[in-house]
Amino acid sequence: MKKLSTQAQGTTEYALILALVALVILVIMAVFGKQIAAAYGKATGDFSTTSAPGAPAATTQATVTPIPRSVQAIAQDFMQRTQAYYQANGQWPPTSGDAYFTALGLNPADYAGPVSGVIWQPDGKYIGMTPSATTQVYVTDARGNQLQLYAGWDIWCHADNGNCYYHDLGLGQEVILSTVTVTGP
């Protein structure tokens, strides 16, 4: 039997390692491909494979608008959808839970955790925002003071008039939605 040179043996070992790495990647893609694709689609805002709520996935595909990325855009979207629901049904959407999101044509799973650093808490005609555990949220009040939302403190916006309030829906608590900033991951 002919003995390989040290260089040839090293090249052969390198090729075998590359083949093994490629095989592991193929196995991972075969096993977790759909989950990886779904996670990638969610991270990049590609919801082209998402079907409409309640629609059979095999027969009806709907164009789902990706979740807007700024807090202001998300709040405006909630207020517009809530107002449209009221105009179509003569009442405000359900006050909590998944029913609120599905009534507005949204997927509750998309809002199960923080979106754009904020936990969204819709409640009928109100849209609540609270910071996630890893973010800090700031907003400017009507007098020009910058306020920080602490754990348990929220911004509440009325869908019927677009006014937003810091922690409490009362006079003197008005804040300016366009000034909301989120820092952190």
CB 46 within 8 A of CB 66: yes
Could you tell me if residue 62 is inside a domain?
Answer: no
Amino acid at 150: Y
pLDDT at 31: 58
Q: How many residues does the chain have?
A: 185
Other CB atoms within 10 Å distance of the CB of residue 108: 13
The CA–CA distances, whole Å, from 91 to 20, 55, 86, 95, 140 equal 61, 24, 5, 11, 31
pLDDT at 152: 78
Could you tell me if residue 175 is inside a domain?
Answer: yes
pLDDT at 123: 86
Could you tell me if residue 50 is inside a domain?
Answer: no
Could you tell me if residue 34 is inside a domain?
Answer: no
pLDDT at 28: 57
Could you tell me if residue 161 is inside a domain?
Answer: yes
Query: How would you write the pLDDT of the chain (185 residues) with one tens digit per residue?
Result: 556 566 666 667 766 665 555 545 655 555 555 554 454 444 444 333 333 334 333 333 334 445 557 899 999 999 999 999 999 999 999 887 788 899 999 999 999 888 888 999 888 899 999 998 888 899 999 889 998 888 778 899 999 888 999 887 777 788 989 999 898 76
Range of the domain at 99: 71-183
Please give the tally of structural domains in the chain: 1
Residues 152-162: b if buried by 16+ CB within 10 A, e if exposed = eebbbbbbeee
Could you tell me if residue 14 is inside a domain?
Answer: no
Could you tell me if residue 22 is inside a domain?
Answer: no
Q: What's the pTM value of the predicted model, to 2 decimals?
A: 0.60
Could you tell me if residue 128 is inside a domain?
Answer: yes
CB 121 within 8 A of CB 154: yes
